Structures are given as structure tokens and as C-alpha cells.
Amino acid sequence: MFEKNLNISLLLDFYGDILSERQKEILDLYYNDDLSLAEIAENYDISRQGVRSVLKKGENILIEMEEKLHLAERFSSVQEKSSQIALELQEITSSINDEKISMKIQALTSQIKDLAY
């Protein structure tokens, strides 16, 4: 059985523009809109095997790009580290009695969250 690799959805966001329009549409329908192979096949008037072939080729392109550039990996790492920093800053803020410093830490925490997302 053909199982979905949910990481492909993230890779599609980063590298989708290098795919052909058709590949991008089919991968988007499958991974983001959760259409089945049969539904996509019907929409494009091709076989389920044809859809699977387009999916596999597109997935391989996306995976190859990620292996070369690591953009999605770096993005995920920045998000994770930013969240950790924001949590630690919130803990520090709750233990500070100085309102000015507390407000500054909250502002910096907000900026970190904005950068990460």
C-alpha cells in the first residue's frame, strides 16, 4: 500500500516551484487537500498508476532538493530553537519583579516568535 510521507507537504512549500505545474498540482491535491489517487486520477483523466508515477517523480525531486539545500531542515530547526528560547524567556519574565525589564523581555519574546513563524 502507498503511504503518505507527510514531510513531502513541507518540502512542497519550499521547493514546489521547481516542479512542473501538473506535478505541483497533483502533489498539492494528494498531500494538502488529502485527495485519493482515484480522485486525482478522475480529475486529470489518467490512471491511478499515472497519478502514483507523478507523485513518486515529484517526491524524488523534492527530496533531492532538500538533500542538497537543507532549507526545510533549517527552517524546522529555527522554529524549534525559537520556541525553546521564547519559553525560557517567559519563565524568566515570570520571576522578575522589575516591570521595565519584564516588558522588554516580553517584547523580545514576541519578536523571536515573529521571526520563527
Query: Whole-angstrom distance between the N-terminal and C-terminal Cα of the chain?
Result: 35
What amino acid is encoded at 32 in this protein? N
Q: What is the pTM of this model?
A: 0.78
Give the distance from CA 48 to its chain's centroid: 26
Give the distance from CA 59 to its chain's centroid: 14
* Residue-level pLDDT, tens digit, the chain, 117 residues: 455 787 999 999 999 999 999 999 999 999 999 999 999 999 999 999 999 999 999 999 999 999 999 999 999 999 899 889 888 888 888 888 888 888 888 888 888 888 766
Q: Are 90 and 113 in contact (CB under 8 A)?
A: no
53-56: long-range contacts, CB 8 A cutoff, minimum separation 24: 54/22, 54/23, 54/26, 54/27, 55/26, 55/27, 55/30
* Confidence at residue 69, expressed as pLDDT on a 0 to 100 scale: 97
* Confidence at residue 3, expressed as pLDDT on a 0 to 100 scale: 59
